[in-house]
Amino acid sequence: MWYNGKVRLKLSGDQSVSTATASRLQQENLLQKLQALDSKARRKGLGGLNAAKSPLVALGMECDSEGNATKNSYGVFHLAWLTSKNPSWPAVVQREVDEVKQGIRDTHKSRLRFVIWAGMGGSAEDKSAYVAAGLLNKGPKLFVLDSTDPAKLKAILAYIEAKAGSLAEGLKSTLVVGMAMGMTSFEPVVNLEKLATLYDKLGTDSRPNFIYMTLPGSILDRFAGPRGYRKIELQLDGGNSTGGRHSSPMTKGSLIPLALAGVDLKRWFEGACLTPEQVDVALQLSAFLHAHGAAGRDKVTLLASKPLSAASLWTKQDFEESLGKSEDIGIKIVINETPRLANYRPAKDSRQDRVFLAVERKGEAGVDKQKLALLKRSGYPLAHLVLDKDAPLSAFMQFMHYTVFGLGWLRGMNFVTQPSVELYKAITQPIYEYGRVLGGTEKTAEWKALKTAIRQSKWRGLTLYYDKLRIAVEPEGRDAPGIYAAILTQLAASGAVEYGELTFFGDTRYDKRGQAVRKVLDKVGEKVFRSAMKMPVDIYEGPAMNHSFHEMVIGHGRCLSTVLMSERAETLPAAGYKADYHQAQFLATQMALEQRARPVVSILIKDLSPASIENLQMFFNEVSKRLKR
């Protein structure tokens, strides 16, 4: 059972840069070697598999200090290979979903109307993509709960209460899903615990309404198991060989929301089964991106058709969390950017670091053909990928996984581990625990150190903190916007920074105030970074960003991180929910970046009132003016 749709890849501005690399990849027969290794690992176990003996072991398995394989992480591929031998798998997923829905009906006499999906990074981004692509429109309304900001859960519950007439009735009709593919992921537990508290307060049995997917013995497993919540095995083969960002498109974590919405799972499975010829095209794209990245053109600007743009953030995470580990070579996926030649350096400029990737299904709208033609004429390197018009999103996702795999092979880089993501989590936990003892994160030494930092500057109700920078910045004669502009200019001029990051620690998806902050940051991204500095910028919310593309921010670097948060923290009193863990993550993100000598500044906003958000806009307007001077 292979997906037989056509895949076309056209390269321009390549000038034979990647020809030799592509030939080398073809000669390696990687797909056959990978299938043989994975089959051996599944049949005979990991004994004797060592990274020093096999590059493929080093590439896609977790190993101990001596290089011995401890976990086969190639499930991202072999789950698709196994579908032809397991034609019943779509029905298995559907049956499990039907049992969950029946349990809610039997216990509460309610139909399933809402889904709250609690997870971070790879456990959540595919769900956001499915919502944006409209794949879940025919199912219960799904909310992605990927933050420990109480504002996000508060906004979700307000919607459910308004639609159901009361929160009690709404929660009876809600499925709560906890998903964590790491042993130490605590964020889903924070949210599940608060939701369980609400069910208890309302006298509602929560057991039919909660399911979870995680590793045996993880924090989530230890929380949910004793409460009698239903554990769903992540993989249909009963294995444990996929990381979070690799859980889509073929694990139950990816399939359950699709099944709830009535998506044709058989067609979805078929889409993920690429032919050897299609895999070869993915590896050609790997060669193109690698060769240009090695030449300094590592800012891959993604231009997607409207339907495929729903998976832009998912694609960004897949590449950057997998391949951001190296100081020497990185790959930045630039998304949500309207192509403007005025924002780019000329194609022949030695500082030009862009390469363009256009992706679409045949006949889809959204990729501006005139802009593509202009980029080609101007001499920018461009790869144009066209999938068959009937290709399901699963085909695109699997194609991108193979492209990442090829890049990992060419760079000699393990593409399944994520050490930098673990760093900030390790810093967060003790801050949070000390805060619980002291009465809140704001009473910890770390928070006090931030607030009393010598290098800070107040401006119209917000405060810029730049004490974690390892560069000298003279504040004399400069206000906060002037200091920020000086920092950005100095770092860019020295080559220490090639792109920016604007991360708001708050909800930008469901909370109206957070949505307003996001609009401001989108304008800032265009005005300050793309237009004035000729550099791309990541705009997102934390800590979801930390799980999505923080691997490259910390691992490869070359980014100025600006993290923002409101001083007036949101609360959800009914669930006893305060922002302590969220604040600890805000601090830990900065500390992790500082520990790796990555430039980071932070901005505390007085609150999220319209006046404060307007002041934030005015702050960056002033920054833009100083940059023009």
Q: What's the CA gap between 485 and 479, in Å, rounded?
A: 10
Instruction: Give the distance between the most distant pair of CA atoms in the chain.
Output: 71
- Sheet with 230-231: list strands edge to edge: 141-145, 114-118, 174-180, 210-214, 230-231
Q: Count of CB atoms within 10 A of residue 47's CB?
A: 9
Beta strand segments in 164-209, E: 174-180
Q: Establish whether domains 87-235 and 419-628 are of one fold.
A: yes
Residue 57 carries which side chain, given as an amino acid letter?
V
Residue 90 has pLDDT above 70, yes or no: yes
Structure tokens at 522: 């989108």
CATH topology of domain 87-235: Rossmann fold (3.40.50)
Residue 57 has pLDDT above 50, yes or no: yes
Q: How far from 557 is each of 109, 314, 349, 528, 575, CA to CA, in Å?
A: 53, 20, 22, 20, 39
Work out whether the CA dihedral 245, 132, 289, 277 comes out positive or negative: positive
Closest CA to 512 of 2, 196, 244, 154: 154
Superfamily of domain 419-628: Glucose-6-phosphate isomerase like protein; domain 1 (3.40.50.10490)
Q: What is the mean pLDDT of residues 15-37?
A: 91
pLDDT band at 274 (very low <50, low <70, confident <90, very high): very high
Q: What is the mean pLDDT of residues 222-249?
A: 94
Phi, psi of 613 (to 5 degrees): -70, -35
Q: What is the mean pLDDT of residues 382-390?
A: 95
Residue 1 has pLDDT above 50, yes or no: no
pLDDT band at 2 (very low <50, low <70, confident <90, very high): low
pLDDT band at 419 (very low <50, low <70, confident <90, very high): confident
Q: Residue 16: what pLDDT?
A: 82
Q: Residue 191: what pLDDT?
A: 96
Q: What's the CA gap between 12 and 374, in Å, rounded?
A: 12
Lowest mean pLDDT among 1-10, 83-92, 479-488, 566-575: 1-10
What are the extents of the domains in the chain?
7-80+271-411, 87-235, 419-628
What is the gyration radius of the CA atoms in the chain, in angstroms? Answer: 24
Which ranges constitute the DSSP H helices of 229-382? Answer: 252-260, 265-272, 276-294, 306-309, 312-323, 369-377
Residue 404 has pLDDT above 50, yes or no: yes
Q: What's the CA gap between 176 and 575, in Å, rounded?
A: 15
Q: What is the mean pLDDT of residues 367-381?
A: 94
Lowest mean pLDDT among 15-19, 124-128, 159-163, 332-336: 15-19
Confirm if 481 and 524 have CB atoms less than 8 A apart: no
CATH of domain 7-80+271-411: 3.40.50.10490
Q: What is the mean pLDDT of residues 261-284?
A: 96
Lowest mean pLDDT among 464-478, 489-503, 603-617: 464-478
Q: Residue 518: what pLDDT?
A: 98
Dihedral angle computed from the Cα positions of residues 421, 334, 498 and 346, in that order, rounded to the nearest 10 degrees: 160
Q: Residue 14: what pLDDT?
A: 85
What integer best gives the mean pLDDT of the chain?
95
* DSSP tally for the chain: helices H, then strands E: 26, 18
Residue 614 has pLDDT above 60, yes or no: yes
Angle between the N-to-C axes of helices 512-524 and 610-628, in degrees from 0 to 180, rounded to the nearest 10:
10
pTM above 0.85, yes or no: yes
Residue 531 has what DSSP assignment?
Answer: I
Structure tokens at 176: 């709560």
Q: Residue 189: what pLDDT?
A: 94
Task: Give the pLDDT confidence of 148-205 residue by residue, as tens digits.
Answer: 999 999 999 999 999 999 999 999 999 999 999 877 788 899 999 999 999 999 999 9
Confirm if 481 and 459 have CB atoms less than 8 A apart: yes
Site of tokens 């002041």: 615
Q: Residue 561's beta-bridge partner residues?
A: 501, 600
Q: Count of CB atoms within 10 A of residue 464's CB?
A: 21
